[in-house]
Structure 1
Amino acid sequence: MDAARVTEVGRQPLPETPDLDGAYPRLSDQQIETLAERGERRPTPTGEVLLREGERSDEFLVVLSGKVAIVQGYGEDEQLLRVHGPRRFLGELGLLEGQPSFFTAVVHEPGEILAVPVAQLEAVVQRDQSLGDLILRAYLIRRTQLIGVGAGFRIVGSGYSADCRRLLEFASRNRLPYRWIDLEKDPQAEALLRRFGIAADETPVVIWRGSRVLRNPSTTELAALLGLRTEGATATACDLLVVGAGPAGLAAAVYGASEGLDTAVLDSVATGGQAATSSRIENYLGFPAGISGAELAERAAIQARKFGARISVPTTATMMRRHDGHVTVGFDDGTETTCRVLVLATGARYRKLDVPGIERLEGTSVYYAATLWEALMCRFDDIAVVGGGNSAGQAAVFLSDHVPRVYLLVRHENLGRDMSRYLVDRIERNPRIEVLLHTEVREAVGDTSLEALVVEDNRTGLRRTLGVRALFVFIGAQPHTAWLGDTVALDPHGFVLTGPDAAGSPDDGGPRAPDGHPLALETSVPGVFAVGDVRSGSVKRVASAVGEGAMAVRLVHQHLNGTGGAIGP
């Protein structure tokens, strides 16, 4: 049966997909020899399925001879995506992250493959770091390509449904390949619902592997299906628990796990935090060409897992308490984890505009992130970006590559007041970006999607209407600390106090540093540290967040050396 299906996919010879951007490199003889020391060679007859959509693989596969077709919807509504020939390797980012495959790999021309257990791949790339960089770069690009072509699972639902928007946001923030089938706009929607016997009021639904249907799943259910929730990530006990998987939290996880601490890290939405919503970070040390926030997060998450950190998404912390020298954190599913040391890295969330008409449009045409998904949603329309900081500037530059015109709305009169000079220069040279200074939004017009914005010059009071179809908001952030209650000391704005600022704040009398004062990043609760944007007085930059995450682990060791003790008997 499998061979017949492959024949249907390609009755004639298939040309290899060209390698235009580093996604499909050929390995050298030396690299193949290095991999062969840890793997085995296997013959591949025509029609053999090497990777199957929806199933996890524990092997890194290299095509030695023959050709392999990469197919979506294998055996049903087949779509040929790519063709690999000799000395190319298969897979994409999900292979390194323990996710199921989002496509099927089928032998099109007989030959031979080299199969290396993923568990052995780390030992190989430690010997040849250039090989590791080659594989990771290719996998990151392939994930972006899968997202771009709408491969993977399907979300069927209305853009006006809050649950549908929830699933779309979760998939987008976690960089999962998917295709959205809009009930109102996609002609395939009705036929697809009839095929699976789904009533319109049962949507949104997730369709996976062609036939598996999840009716309005929770984000937790979707994450479990796609391998995002690591089994045992929130075990009953660990040395170091990191709440929040933005740059600061991931840095703490990397350094904690690499230095021998039993480490778990969790996030309520996705790895990367607010940084992952940034289309390109150009002032981060070591990346002269810039790097997207999503790619930086993916690299950091892979690095943390390599050292043994357990990552769980989505997992939401709901409470914290300290007792017997340890800290317990409770989660929204009713479970708890006790740790020797807790690092708070919950970051901050973007503030929302308080203007008439905006709430009903959130998720359909009002956004608080500027990733590829949002760009594709409005690629034929003029759009507006609100904000005067780097996040707004980066969004405007990125979106200008996808839409006809970007209006950048800044309420003060100096674009360079809160924005880096390199971004100001780029915006001023971009013919697709029109900057409107001392301008504020007064009304969002539209019932189900944005039709126009009413804006006002805050000096003259003159109003005008902009015919935009999407609005991107970057106007500052609020700390995510409500779940902490009154357990740690906060500043008047809700950010966590640390170090000398936390000294003298009430605590439970637990052990402190030898001088009795909180350590530099320690909160008012002994053994609880805060890093990144959630910390009062922090510098709101990715580099400083990463530095604080690394520094926190050094202080964690200092704390443990003073208090010692393992969890349990």
Structure 2
Amino acid sequence: MTAPDGPRGRSRLTETPDRRGAFPRLAQEQLDVLAEHGERRRVEAGEVLFREGERCEEFIVLLSCVVEIVHDLGDVEQRTVAVHGPGRFLGELGLLEGEAAFNTAIVSEPGEVLAVPWEEQRDLVAGDQILGDLVLRAYLGRRSLLIGVGAGFRILGSYYSPATRRLREFAARNRLPHRWIDLERDRQAEELLQRFSIRPEETPVVIWKGREVLRNPSPTDLARLAGLPAPTPDVADSDLVVVGAGPAGLASAVYGASDGLDTVIVDAIATGGQAGASSRIENYLGFPSGISGGELIERAVIQARKFGARMIVPLQAAGLERRDDHYAVRFTDGSVAEARTVVLAPGVSYRKLDAPGIARFEGTNVFYAATLHEAQQCGEDPVAVVGGGNAGGQAALFLAEYTPQVHLIVRGDDLGANMSRYLADQVDRHRGIQVLLHHEVHEALGDDVLRSVAVRDGTTGRVHEVPARALFVFIGARPHTDWLAGALVTDRSGFVLTGADAQAAADPDTWADRARSPMMLETTLPGVFAAGDVRSGSVKRVASAAGEGAMAIRLVHEHLAEEGSLVRIPTTGGRAPTGDIGDHTREPAGRHPAVGGPPQR
């Protein structure tokens, strides 16, 4: 990293070495491919190629110039974080996903660049396997580096504020580079309050580009600032609405859009679901050395957008209703998405731990996800993880990379009972992880922050304390199905019934005009399917969720083929001549269910 004195007044800059494949140099054959889609042009010293906070419209390859990457341009904290020379390319993940830039690129030494429109670059990334993998891996690495150095916008707010926690969680879940400044503890906080005339009661605030201030913004406001796709007032006449952008939902979006279906996918918080928060997935087919949840999800998001799926985050579903031959999904902002079919993949959230003191520290020291955001908060302090499943094991291993002591609290007597064997072996061998079998949390202890966790030994009844400045909880899941109450049938725990289970619980009148029962992933509503963790009886694995999401699209095609063969009674003046809305559709006698749609990939 170069000195933080900016791009001017220096005759020669040292190029930043490649780190983790984030700054590769393109081969001549790759430059030749890109040259077919872009144009060469001259750039001069001091020229700004793209600016922090603004959308970058071009993929820029350096041919004979040197470019400096700067954060907080013009601010007192301005710093240079990278220098690139000929053969390298600029940009990061936001270029592919339509987000604003999180840094500024300034020409230090004049020369030539090759500029490719970003739409064409996105097609090249999707279509050229070698070039695409090189660019995507570099962009993912750069996004991680940006997050690590605290680039992007600043969130100024109290450690104890629920509104601050919501903003930080949204930024972390969406992998948006940012830096949090604690109102109570950070020395810089007071200076920023005075510089921008911010009253403490106006916090949390988001500061970007050294001059823009959002006072007490919502996650939606923050999403718009970062350039995430804005929710449209209404979406009508689409073929498919997918609710939830975890592995199941993203797989449905990829296969639906690639099959030519007009596809909309929405999520209340961020793409990725529980998988997106996983530090490492080591048993996913095709990745023998493992892959982070964030990287897997980013690849899926790019894939879905490549095929034309419209992705809207954040947008929280509030209700589902049937309207004649299609469905309407209502959202909390008042908007509605109408589609002929729906795939439900809203996923689950981890259950809260019911023990004295837990509620007091939730959001500050008690967490239900273990990402880089939470790990960096812990620093060198010991932490505790509760949960004997895969999520608990993955969290323990991940956190052990950042803190010297992790206490894994497991109620059962066998680490391998609910955890994959390979994972249990890694946890058992790790010197930084202490596994406490037969234990459960008795109480969270501390004053303003968590200091320790009292645990009870189930075999002896003895209660003792383990030091912990943070507690991570993974003790089972609760499905995100409250908004579906009254629309379709779930099991006692709220998981959506499908297939044979749905047949037993379905209202016969709903299926009266069809000569079939609910298909494998179909719910008690024809044309509404469930996939992934939210489905009753699902396997709760990333691979199975993605498989169900893909399978749901095959069933969507079968449903649409059936709908196309049903007789429609024409209406007069927009009104049915007789009967209710539900009387518009009739099935001809003797017709069997149609099967159609393109073959599954």
Structure 2 length-normalised TM: 0.91
1:79-90 to structure 2, matched below 5 A, reads: 79-90=79-90
Tell me how far 1:335 sits from its aligned partner: 1.0
CA contact (8 A) 1:360 1:447 kept: no
Indicate yes or no: 2:355 matched with 1:365. no
CA distance in 2, matches of 1:490, 1:479: 10
CA distance in 2, matches of 1:243, 1:233: 17
Tell me the equivalent position of 2:66: 67
Indicate yes or no: 2:424 matched with 1:411. no
CA contact (8 A) 1:27 1:88 kept: yes
1:142-161 to structure 2, matched below 5 A, reads: 142-161=142-161
Q: Aligned residue pairs: how many?
A: 565
Tell me the equivalent position of 1:462: 462
Percent of aligned pairs sharing the same letter: 60
2:505 match: secondary structure:
coil
CA contact (8 A) 1:452 1:465 kept: yes
Tell me the equivalent position of 1:286: 286
1:236 match: secondary structure:
strand
532 and 12 in structure 1: CA distance in 2 versus 1, 3 angstrom threshold: same
Letter of the 1:39 partner, please give it.
G
- Kindly provide the CA deviation profile for residues 83-111 of structure 1, in whole angstroms up to 9, marking residues without a partner as x: 01001000000000000000000001111
1:25 match: secondary structure:
coil
1:121 match: secondary structure:
helix
Tell me how far 1:329 sits from its aligned partner: 0.7
Letter of the 1:110 partner, please give it.
P
Tell me the equivalent position of 2:548: 548
Tell me the equivalent position of 2:578: none
CA contact (8 A) 2:61 2:113 kept: yes
Tell me the equivalent position of 1:530: 530
Tell me the equivalent position of 2:495: 495
Tell me the equivalent position of 2:187: 187
CA distance in 1, matches of 2:327, 2:144: 39
Tell me the equivalent position of 1:219: 219
Tell me the equivalent position of 2:595: none
CA distance in 2, matches of 1:446, 1:429: 31
CA contact (8 A) 2:7 2:106 kept: no
Tell me how far 1:446 sits from its aligned partner: 1.9
Tell me how far 1:485 sits from its aligned partner: 0.9
Tell me the equivalent position of 2:201: 201
RMSD: 1.9
263 and 395 in structure 1: CA distance in 2 versus 1, 3 angstrom threshold: same
CA contact (8 A) 2:126 2:303 kept: no
- Kindly provide the CA deviation profile for residues 26-78 of structure 1, in whole angstroms up to 9, marking residues without a partner as x: 00111111101110011110000001000001210001111000001112231
- Kindly provide the CA deviation profile for residues 514-561 of structure 1, in whole angstroms up to 9, marking residues without a partner as x: 642001100001110000000000001000000000000000000000
Tell me the equivalent position of 1:101: 101
Letter of the 2:185 partner, please give it.
K
Tell me how far 1:11 sits from its aligned partner: 2.2
7 and 250 in structure 1: CA distance in 2 versus 1, 3 angstrom threshold: closer
Letter of the 1:57 partner, please give it.
C
Tell me the equivalent position of 1:58: 57
CA distance in 2, matches of 1:554, 1:126: 23
CA contact (8 A) 2:62 2:114 kept: yes
Tell me how far 1:232 sits from its aligned partner: 3.9
512 and 474 in structure 1: CA distance in 2 versus 1, 3 angstrom threshold: farther
CA contact (8 A) 1:9 1:80 kept: no
CA distance in 1, matches of 2:194, 2:132: 46
2:422 match: secondary structure:
helix
1:95-494 to structure 2, matched below 5 A, reads: 95-125=95-125, 128-230=128-230, 232=232, 235-494=235-494
Tell me how far 1:260 sits from its aligned partner: 0.2
512 and 134 in structure 1: CA distance in 2 versus 1, 3 angstrom threshold: farther
CA distance in 2, matches of 1:233, 1:265: 15
- Kindly provide the CA deviation profile for residues 357-398 of structure 1, in whole angstroms up to 9, marking residues without a partner as x: 111211111111111111100021000000000000000011
CA distance in 2, matches of 1:284, 1:481: 27
CA contact (8 A) 1:234 1:312 kept: no
CA contact (8 A) 2:355 2:444 kept: yes
Tell me the equivalent position of 1:36: 35
- Kindly provide the CA deviation profile for residues 307-340 of structure 1, in whole angstroms up to 9, marking residues without a partner as x: 0001111100001100211100100111111100
CA contact (8 A) 1:233 1:310 kept: no
1:343 match: secondary structure:
strand
Q: Work out which of the two has the higher radius of gyration on C-alpha atoms and give 1 or 2.
A: 2
2:155 match: secondary structure:
strand
Tell me the equivalent position of 2:597: none
CA contact (8 A) 2:5 2:80 kept: no
1:314 match: secondary structure:
coil
29 and 513 in structure 1: CA distance in 2 versus 1, 3 angstrom threshold: farther
189 and 502 in structure 1: CA distance in 2 versus 1, 3 angstrom threshold: same
125 and 147 in structure 1: CA distance in 2 versus 1, 3 angstrom threshold: closer
